[in-house]
């Protein structure tokens, strides 16, 4: 079935849309469809050798069977028919039969000379099919030129013995892809699809070739890019994660990016979601027909594949869907039909807007809250004698160990420099980069390709699949060369360091530095099209302390220039080579390290983002000897003309041979607690075991080994965290501290295990009995490598008899959730230190909700907060989400959530607390961003009413009145918590709410007394019929029309005639955070649209307790204020109980849409039922005037006596009213602030003045209505 297509409109006289704009318009309107597997369909023809050869190649020297691409020449009718079958099945795009039409791949058949012809002929064949079907159907179809990965790889060696060997070069791939692309473009393709990317380096070669052709000869065409994930690890064959892959190819500005092949749709989902969050491009997804069976075939039916992809579509994940291996026209037909009515994914306007994005095997994002980035300097032949010697002697494998050590010591980017006169820099750079690619522990971080020889830089870039940094280029040789090199770097997709040099030489003064950097910035951004976020300036850290007066300001000039660059050149970063600063003190390592530590401390404050440093040798600012610290400060800030001499004198008196003289370890005479703390802060492993044993042996002070961890060890780690957060300690020192901590804990573990066994024996436990208090799965979330806090939590929980499943760092969501299910976890604990981890935590919470999980979620880590957890994470998951401040709290939280006696109470406490936090947060927001009303409506909840459960017809249409409702029925439905709130009696956890408040030490006794009095008065009111409950419930046929709900008198289809009432809705407009996929709700979303043809209904109710006001006044007459308040409080509780009990009856019998419901009253108070009962004047519909429509429709005042005051308050005061919605998709929400545009639209729909509406909606106006 062909897709329903809204062709892009084009008024007469309009400029013709480009292909990219034309396709973009369609992608905004609907989900488009790609064809299915070409190979799958060719196999069905059971072709033999002669069929592949045809007449032209019947005497060819090699076997040609299996060369499917050749069939475009030898069997064009078969290929043409396959194209047509897919197009008539509903495909918008067909791929050319050119997956292997490169000279590299065709060499296997001895047909490399045919590469250009194969591509041109195949493109012409697909073009013919697309144009013919377009003419027959009137629906335009497009041809995608398929650019496959070839059968060779740039990132992986084919030889186990030679990890640096490659059987193809970057240049060879660029050449073969250039030839292929020319053929495709000459044959008339609309789109270039670089697909099935298992090695991103290969894809970068293809994109390099394409970009060059567009620049030199051909009109630009849209580019689609599709990677392939080889297994559930979420990585390509060459080891990259999906997010790193996106970053690596982002310079190509693809119109669409996504995944295909290797996996079925179900397995592909988490990776498609991750890619969608990482790009502003449209998302493409064409999976296999499930996973292959034991015979290599595919068993997934068209219906099942379509169902999976429809789920993707319904969840807003995709823009183009199709099929890969195992899919057929039948699959495409089902897919096209399944997504026909689904809204396409709306790409975010920006992702990581203020971030520099780099990648190795994993993404590395440098943003506003990223700590200083350490660029490891030891892999530099000019800066490390050891490294230089290893490279010069050809010992590259040993040189790799230096790179690995740099990464382990905290280098987040690895600088590689091979500039040595006696070295072939190009081959050395290429060889070392290839070796790094074979070491995942090193290759996970981005590389900084560092050379003064641009040819060496190019050699390095050609060997890297990730997004690198180039260090460096400058204006030294003039603008023309600068621009040419900038274009090459952009084509490779790298970021660039620009040195503050120009034709006049090195910039030393602040003004000159800024002039050079500003000029370079403008050239790159305006003439090369460089992303400003990919520009790094090195304003020259020059040597100070030389004895020459003109050098004294060099440190200050760098910091001033840094500050001005950050203020005037948006997006640019600042870096620098730190070792230059102290070069005049070479050989005096203590002095140099101190100078570096002091300089960085101040430069970072002025905006220095990164630096080439020895990641393991940076002193903590506060640890520098005070005398040395002052001398360094004076030198750097040029405060003392004799600073250099004084530093030299200090060096003579305090150091020996460039290192500190071994002093008496005075700290070793401190108490053991202080020694352990000192070891942790300083990262000293030498004495930690003996000190730990000394503390453990002190049984009077530390009765259990656990107490050593909870005491001095954790105290030391807290200081480490504080120093790191204050910028006085860098990541390498933190890692050292963690190692010391692990060593101490490792020593204690056998003692704790022995203690646990003794405790089990004493309690009579057997091996068959689960010895653990509970099971917790801990993980540092994907994208984050920091696990110190998590490890401490794991230790503490393990020591408190919890079974801990520690998944380590960089843990994908699906792995976390799978582990939780497999291990029957009682809790999931997520940890993270960097800001992007917060978004990943939100994603995990959303996935847990989607999968219907009930496991409590614990949130921790330095970047997390109670506010963020309450505002961003908790709303995504309906089960407990708790921010755990520190390790010591983790056991308390878990114990409370395990205790059935306090669990619900504790969850309620957290829920209320987080609701207060959310409210406070939103109240303090000043700058809100709004979607237009049209955009908000486009992002509303669009229910697929054809697959949605058919709305149930109520048992009657119209209203039913309850004149004197039995109050005895309501008592069990009373929620007593608000009653105690009235009396301002609030117990402290765990003694909150009814009945635990009675145990509270502070308010418990008083709560008992009040409750006793309430029971007495309640019995009197009911037994003596002092209070009367009246109510009404009604149901009517209803359909939504836009943001309104039309109500009809007669239950006939189609709905005809004028509606008897209209309920007007307000829609959420405040822009939600970028990680949210929640719709922008309006109450009308929960009712079937009029045009859907699905009959739906709406209900309403109004209930009240009469007589309380009169009784209250009687009490007042007798000066009994206590009972005057008490009777009102009880009437309110009875009215709410009436609403609860009546809604229960509505669900089960009066409407009957959930006849099987079995809920206790406490569950109802927690809104665990299906459907909602929102009230006008409350968050989901803040407009009180909607009550008038309710009262008029049902005759509420006439039938019940419940009236509306001038301000539309209900009287009696103990009254509740609202609407009933039955859809299982319905949910409570807050409209929030809205714009004047919506207010005017709402006033027009209600046919009242804007000023009148503004009066009623004052609290939610997102603008000043007095202006």
Catalytic residues: 784, 786, 837
How far is it, in rounded angstroms, from Cα 556 to Cα 1189?
71
Could you tell me which residues come within 8 angstroms of residue 649 by beta carbon, excluding any fewer than 6 positions away? none
Residue 232, number of CB atoms within 10 A of its CB:
15
How far is it, in rounded angstroms, from Cα 1239 to Cα 1261?
8
How far is it, in rounded angstroms, from Cα 1 to Cα 335?
10
- Alpha helices by DSSP H, listed for 685-802, are 688-697, 705-708, 714-725, 731-762, 788-799
Vertex 948: Cα angle to 942 and 954 (nearest 5): 110
How far is it, in rounded angstroms, from Cα 1044 to Cα 82?
47
Judged on CB neighbours under 10 Å (0-12, 13-18, 19+), 964 is: exposed
Q: Is the previous residue joined to 1138 through a cis bond, with omega within 30 degrees of 0?
A: no
Q: What is the DSSP secondary structure assignment for residue 1044, as one 8-state letter?
A: E
* Contact criterion met (CB below 8 Å) for 832 and 838: yes
- Burial string for 1156-1168 (b: 16+ CB within 10 Å, else e) reads eeebebeebbbee
How far is it, in rounded angstroms, from Cα 1236 to Cα 1260?
11
In 1058-1212, where do the E strands start and end? 1061-1064, 1096-1106, 1203-1204, 1210-1211
Could you tell me which residues come within 8 angstroms of residue 965 by beta carbon, excluding any fewer than 6 positions away? 1029, 1030, 1031, 1103, 1138
| Cα distances (Å, whole numbers) of residue 422 to 249, 428, 1203 | 35, 11, 96
Angle between helix 836-850 and 813-822 (nearest 10)? 50
HEC letters along 943-1001: CCCCCCCCCCCCCCCEEEEEEEECHHHCHHHCCCHHHHHHCCCCCCCCCCCCCHHHHCC
In 478-558, where do the E strands start and end? 495-499, 501-502, 505-506, 535-538
How far is it, in rounded angstroms, from Cα 175 to Cα 573?
35
Residue 854, number of CB atoms within 10 A of its CB:
9
* Contact criterion met (CB below 8 Å) for 141 and 134: yes
Among residues 1055, 1019, 1023, 1017, the alpha carbon closest in space to that of 1038 is found at: 1055
Could you tell me which residues come within 8 angstroms of residue 1049 by beta carbon, excluding any fewer than 6 positions away? 1036, 1037, 1057, 1060
Among residues 705, 706, 731, the alpha carbon closest in space to that of 720 is found at: 731
HEC letters along 389-442: HHHHCCCHHHHHHHHHHHHHCCCCEEEEECCCCCCCHHHHHHHHHHHHHCCHHH
């Amino acid at each position: 079935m062909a897709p329903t297509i809204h062709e892009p409109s084009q008024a007469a006289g309009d400029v013709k849309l480009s292909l990219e704009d034309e396709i973009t318009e369609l992608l905004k309107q609907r989900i488009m469809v790609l064809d299915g597997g070409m190979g799958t369909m060719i196999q069905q023809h059971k072709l033999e050798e002669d069929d592949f050869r045809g007449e032209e190649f019947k005497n060819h020297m090699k076997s040609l069977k299996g060369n499917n691409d050749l069939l475009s020449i030898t069997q064009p009718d078969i290929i043409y028919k396959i194209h047509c079958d897919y197009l008539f099945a509903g495909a918008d795009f067909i791929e050319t039969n050119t997956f292997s039409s490169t000279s590299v791949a065709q060499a296997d058949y001895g047909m490399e000379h045919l590469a250009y012809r194969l591509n041109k002929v195949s493109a012409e064949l697909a073009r013919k099919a697309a144009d013919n079907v377009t003419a027959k159907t009137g629906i335009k179809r497009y041809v995608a030129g398929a650019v496959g990965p070839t059968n060779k790889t740039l990132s992986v060696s084919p030889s186990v013995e030679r990890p640096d060997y490659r059987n193809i070069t970057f240049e060879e791939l660029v050449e073969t892809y250039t030839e292929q692309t020319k053929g495709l473009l000459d044959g008339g393709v609309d789109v270039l699809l670089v697909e099935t990317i298992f090695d991103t380096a290969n894809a970068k070669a293809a994109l390099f070739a394409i970009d060059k052709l567009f620049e030199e000869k051909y009109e630009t065409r849209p580019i689609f890019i599709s990677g392939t994930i080889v297994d559930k690890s979420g990585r390509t064959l060459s080891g990259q994660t999906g997010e790193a892959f996106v970053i690596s190819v982002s310079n190509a500005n693809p119109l669409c990016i996504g995944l295909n092949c290797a996996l079925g749709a179900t397995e592909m989902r988490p990776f498609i979601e991750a890619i969608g969050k990482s790009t502003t491009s449209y998302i493409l997804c064409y999976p296999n027909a499930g996973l292959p069976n034991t015979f290599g075939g595919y068993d997934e039916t068209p219906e099942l594949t379509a169902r999976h992809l429809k789920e993707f579509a319904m969840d807003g994940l995709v823009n183009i869907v199709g099929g890969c291996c195992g899919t057929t026209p039948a699959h495409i037909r089902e897919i096209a039909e399944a997504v026909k009515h689904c809204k396409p994914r709306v790409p975010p306007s920006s992702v990581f807007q203020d971030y520099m994005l780099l990648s190795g095997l994993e993404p590395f994002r440098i943003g506003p809250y990223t700590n200083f980035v350490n660029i490891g300097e030891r892999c530099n032949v000019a800066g490390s004698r050891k490294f230089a010697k290893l490279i010069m002697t050809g010992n590259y494998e040993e040189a790799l160990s230096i790179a690995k050590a740099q990464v382990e010591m905290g280098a987040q980017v690895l600088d590689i420099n091979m500039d040595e006169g006696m070295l072939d820099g190009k081959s050395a750079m290429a060889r070392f980069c290839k070796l790094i690619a074979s070491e995942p522990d090193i290759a996970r971080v981005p590389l900084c390709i560092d050379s003064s020889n641009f040819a060496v830089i190019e050699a390095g870039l050609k060997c890297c699949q990730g997004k690198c940094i180039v260090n460096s280029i400058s204006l030294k040789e003039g603008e023309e060369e600068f621009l040419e090199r900038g274009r090459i770097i952009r084509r490779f997709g790298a970021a660039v360091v620009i040195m503050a040099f120009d034709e006049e030489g090195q910039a030393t003064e602040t003004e000159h530095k800024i002039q050079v950097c500003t000029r370079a910035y403008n050239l790159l951004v305006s003439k090369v099209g460089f992303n400003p976020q990919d520009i790094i300036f090195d304003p020259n850290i020059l040597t100070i302390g030389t004895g020459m007066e003109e050098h004294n300001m060099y440190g200050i000039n760098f910091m001033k220039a840094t500050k001005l660059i950050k203020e005037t050149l948006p997006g640019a970063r600042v870096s620098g080579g730190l070792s230059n600063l102290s070069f005049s003190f070479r050989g005096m390592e203590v002095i140099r390290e101190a100078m570096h530590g002091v300089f960085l401390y101040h430069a970072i404050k002025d905006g220095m983002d990164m630096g080439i440093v020895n990641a393991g040798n940076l002193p903590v600012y506060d640890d520098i000897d005070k005398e040395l610290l002052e001398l360094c400060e004076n030198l750097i800030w040029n405060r003392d003309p004799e600073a250099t001499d004084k530093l030299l004198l200090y060096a003579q008196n305090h150091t020996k041979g460039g290192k500190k003289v071994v002093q008496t370890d005075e700290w070793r005479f401190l108490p053991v607690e202080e020694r352990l703390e000192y070891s942790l802060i300083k990262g000293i492993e030498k004495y930690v075991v003996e000190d730990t044993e000394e503390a453990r042996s002190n049984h009077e002070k530390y009765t259990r080994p656990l107490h050593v961890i909870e005491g001095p060890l954790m105290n030391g780690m807290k200081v480490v965290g504080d120093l790191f957060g204050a910028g006085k300690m860098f990541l390498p020192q933190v890692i050292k501290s963690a190692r010391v901590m692990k060593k101490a804990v490792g020593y204690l573990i056998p003692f704790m295990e022995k203690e646990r066994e003794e405790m089990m024996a004493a309690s009579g436990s057997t091996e068959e009995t689960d010895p653990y208090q509970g099971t917790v799965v801990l993980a540092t979330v994907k994208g984050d490598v920091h696990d110190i806090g998590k490890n401490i939590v794991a230790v503490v929980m393990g020591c408190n008899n919890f079974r801990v499943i520690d998944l380590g760092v960089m843990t994908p969501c699906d792995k976390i959730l799978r582990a939780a299910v497999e291990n029957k976890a009682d809790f999931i604990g997520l940890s993270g230190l960097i800001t992007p981890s917060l978004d990943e935590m939100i994603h995990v919470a959303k996935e847990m909700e989607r999968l219907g999980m009930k496991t409590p979620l614990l949130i921790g880590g330095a970047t997390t907060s109670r506010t963020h957890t309450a505002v961003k994470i908790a709303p995504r998951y309906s089960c407990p989400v708790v921010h755990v401040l520190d390790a010591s709290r983790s056991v308390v939280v878990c114990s409370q959530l395990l205790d059935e006696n306090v669990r619900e109470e504790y969850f309620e406490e957290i829920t209320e607390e987080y609701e207060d936090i959310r409210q406070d947060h939103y109240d303090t927001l000043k700058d809100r961003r709004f979607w237009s009303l049209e955009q908000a409506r486009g992002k509303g909840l669009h229910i697929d009413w054809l697959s949605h459960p058919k709305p149930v017809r109520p048992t009657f249409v119209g209203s039913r009145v309850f004149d004197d409702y039995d109050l005895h029925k309501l008592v069990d439905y009373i929620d007593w918590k608000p009653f105690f709130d009235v009396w301002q009696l609030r117990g402290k956890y765990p003694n909150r709410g009814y009945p635990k408040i009675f145990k509270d030490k502070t308010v418990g006794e008083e709560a008992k007394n009040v409750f006793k009095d309430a029971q007495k008065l309640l019995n009197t009111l009911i037994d003596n019929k002092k209070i009367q409950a009246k109510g009404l419930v009604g149901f009517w046929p209803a359909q939504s029309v836009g943001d309104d709900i039309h109500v009809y008198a007669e239950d006939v289809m189609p709905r005809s005639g004028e509606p008897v009432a209209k309920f007007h809705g307000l829609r959420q407009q405040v822009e939600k955070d970028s990680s949210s996929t929640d719709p922008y709700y309006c109450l009308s979303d929960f009712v079937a649209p009029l045009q859907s043809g699905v009959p739906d209904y709406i209900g309403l109710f109004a209930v009240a307790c009469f007589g309380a006001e009169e009784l209250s006044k009687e009490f007042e007459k007798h000066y009994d204020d206590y009972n005057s308040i008490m009777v009102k409080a009880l009437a309110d509780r009875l009215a709410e109980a009436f609403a609860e009990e009546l809604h229960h009856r509505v669900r089960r019998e009066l409407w009957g849409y959930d006849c099987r419901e079995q809920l206790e009253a406490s569950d109802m108070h927690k809104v665990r039922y299906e459907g909602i009962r929102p009230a006008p004047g409350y968050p989901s519909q803040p407009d009180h005037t909607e009550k008038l429509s309710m009262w008029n429709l049902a005759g509420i005042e006439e039938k019940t006596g419940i009236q509306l005051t001038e301000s539309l308050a209900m009287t009696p005061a103990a009254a509740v009213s609202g609407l009933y919605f039955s859809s299982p998709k319905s949910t409570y929400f807050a409209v929030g602030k809205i714009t004047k545009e919506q207010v005017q639209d709402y006033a027009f729909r209600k046919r009242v003045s804007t000023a009148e509406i503004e009066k009623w909606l004052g609290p939610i106006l997102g603008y000043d209505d007095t202006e």
